[in-house]
Chain A
Amino acid sequence: MASLPPKHPVQQGTADAAGGADAHHHPPKGLLRWVLTTNHKEIGTLYLLFSLLMFLIGGVFALVIRAELFQPGLQLVQPEFFNQMTTMHGLIMVFGAVMPAFVGLANWMVPLQIGAPDMALPRLNNFSFWLLPVAFTLLLSTLFMPGGAPNFGWTFYAPLSTTYAPPSTTFFILSLHIAGISSILGAINIIATILNLRAPGMRMMDMTLFVWTWLITAFLLIAVMPVLAGVVTMMLMDINFGTSFFNAGGGGDPVMFQHLFWFFGHPEVYIMILPAFGIVSVIIPTFARKPLFGYASMVYATASIAILSFMVWAHHMFVVGLPLVAELFFMYSTMLIAVPTGVKVFNWVATLFRGSISYEPAMLFAIAFVILFTIGGFSGLMLAISPADFQYHDTYFVVAHFHYVLVPGAIFSIMAAVYYWLPKWTGHYPHLRLSQWHFWLSVIGVNLTFFPMHFSGLAGMPRRIPDYSLQFADFNMVSSIGAFMFGLSQLLFVVIVFMCARGGEKAPAKTWDGAVDLEWTVPSPAPLHTFETPPQYRPAEADH
């Protein structure tokens, strides 16, 4: 991490977009500059690099899983270690890769898109970033502890995670607390920024969808991260202080763990997808050269998804023995969420319709997002049918579902965002040929990996098990080959990003000719300080 890309080396004096670049005290040099920075762009970069590192580590864990599953039988790892790998893979990807990447993008782009000079609470911003390396060093260190790392799955169901947990669980709880505090502080900062620092003249309904979706996501974070904190605190007390929140022997109830966890967990999955919706809603109009179809309906759809997400949690628990009315309620409420989600997909397609489309790498990823996320949505609908879920639950079908919404969903949107905004960050276009290679290898790899899982799942292959019966061998071999293809092609992504930081075709302020939002009015690379005097926002400008 020492060789960070040369951030548009301190250009304050020369390229100030908005004038008024009065004497900034010089930032400290070298590493300390990154430790102490309160600049939203530098912190954004830190978040993104951290998330990239976690993405690679979590990816290695996934490849350990796929290598073991390449053939039936036990070849490479012990079942105990396999369990640690599935658990750590999930935790690292959710809390270490996807969430920090979105926070990083928010740090960089929210102030630029609303015309603010920085985040509302810059020092808090620095703190919330630096909590993350602490949390994840702690989490990763559990791999080397006696008894091994957490092995109970990323959903850490009690009593597996309490009565039968390895001793390292206390560290896992601590690291989740720290990561949770980081997300909460980040969310507070984003809300405060969006509500108070918009450029004069910019109303709420003038904000880009990226800003809108992040505002709603931040509210979700504020609402559910404390519940997660509460659940892990109860676990901590059950483990260390002899309480019985989840211990049936002492009058507690393990099923209650699942209710509490999913009350957090389902909104959490929307935390990982709403910003993706925002990114795609910004990129598609740019490269279709048409304003977004149904802007207002997009905002309302996002808000209704967020509200509904609190009423569907038990669709993860159809088989715990819910009474019939609850099965029906959660089945219909889950299906109801597909309606606003469908509105979004419809609007993206309508935006593309008769647009003059060009296929820059960002657009390739955005279009792949629309198609492949929708496949994940459909398998979600199948899972929502409660009687059918009795067959699908805890099989690879569920794995296929959530990887379709998370990898070609959330992750592709992050890739799209990086390709879209890299020129603004570095001043250079990313290498076109390599980006296209990265895209095609990724799409093919992702589908090879996850599409066969639908079939192995429907045929009954259980998830989180290191061995399987012979009938699943072919599907698993294809999945494993796809996974290595996808994983290795991400190294190409790393190369592209670092090449782009060092040089390449120069990008103008307005990098893409169809781009209209405020960030394209500042130079590329964006100077360290922008919008010191707020720009006057004129809505007409944004609507062509």
Chain B
Amino acid sequence: MATPNPDTQRNVNRTVIKTLVVLAGMFAFAFALVPLYDVFCQVTGLNGKTSAKAQSLVSGDVDSSRTVTMQFITRSSAGLPWRLETQTRQVRVHPGQSTEVHFSFTNLGKEVDVARAVPSVTPSEAALHLRKLACFCFQNQRLRPGEKMEAPLVFQLDKQLPEDIRTVTLVYTLYPQEMEVSSSG
């Protein structure tokens, strides 16, 4: 440009600064979306995640007028030579009633490994109403080669479960976890 008018130049600089501010804001916003997403999902239960901590039993009467089918699906993820199984494919429960189901972990590999079973609930609207009093999914499991372990899940569907939900599916997927170095042996 031959003759940069100082006035124009100042305006240009001002525009550039403004756009840079928006830019930085949007970049931060992208990262802020992650916790916002988590909070949103926790409040609404929309991503089918259940609480990561043990919850207490809501006592009170069992609503025996309704029966809900609770289904269990287990799977291991690629690259982890473990098996997760349950004898109980499904149970029929009344909202309010607490039930215990047993799962078994087997390490079919040749090495000590750590893994965690991550739960997911379908339909996602049911996630908020599935209360776990005890669950192996709250912590990592550590198994030696060939070792087998039984672990219980104690759960309750609370009575606020929407009427139209007749079947709730709980999926556990085994994921390999980083081994803590200190506890190797």
Contacts and interface: CB of A to CB of B under 8 A. Distances in A.
A12 B30 CA distance: 47
Interface in B153-185: 173, 175-178
Contacts of B77: 249
B19 A222 contact: yes
B178 A242 contact: yes
A118 B1 contact: yes
Interface string A360-403: 00000000000000000000000000000000000000000000
Contact of A226 (B26, B34, B116): B26
B26 A20 contact: no
A421 to B, nearest CB: 22
A121 B176 contact: no
B30 A230 contact: yes
A307 interface: no
Contacts of B52: 251
Interface residues of B, number: 43
B31 to A, nearest CB: 6
Interface in B1-46: 1-3, 8, 11-12, 15-16, 19-20, 22-24, 26-27, 29-31, 33-34, 37-38, 41, 44, 46
Contacts of A196: 8, 11-12, 15
A247 B175 CA distance: 9
Contacts of A188: 16, 19-20, 23
B16 A226 contact: no
Interface string A1-35: 00000000000000000001010100000000000
B2 A22 contact: yes
Contact of B12 (A20, A120, A245, A323): A120
Nearest to B11: A196
Interface stretch (B58-66, B101-109, B118-126, B143-151): B118-126
Interface string A246-263: 011111010110011001
A118 B124 CA distance: 55
A542 interface: no
B96 interface: no
Interface in A222-243: 222-224, 226-227, 229-231, 234, 242
Contact of B29 (A222, A227, A253, A323): A227
* Most-contacted residue by chain A among B20, B23, B44 (CB, 10 A): B23
Contact of B176 (A197, A249, A255): A249
A529 interface: yes
Contact of A249 (B19, B26, B38, B177): B177
Given A222-B19, A231-B30, A532 B2 contact: yes
A247 B140 CA distance: 16
Contacts of B177: 249-250
Contacts of B116: 249
Contacts of B125: 323
Contacts of A229: 27, 30
Contacts of B38: 253
Nearest to B41: A253
9 contacts: A24-B2, A120-B12, A164-B78, A192-B15, A196-B12, A226-B30, A227-B26, A229-B30, A253-B47
Interface of B: 1-3, 8, 11-12, 15-16, 19-20, 22-24, 26-27, 29-31, 33-34, 37-38, 41, 44, 46-49, 52, 77-78, 116, 118, 120, 122-125, 173, 175-178
Interface of A: 20, 22, 24, 117-118, 120-122, 164, 184, 187-188, 191-192, 195-197, 222-224, 226-227, 229-231, 234, 242, 245, 247-251, 253, 255-256, 259-260, 263, 321, 323, 529, 532
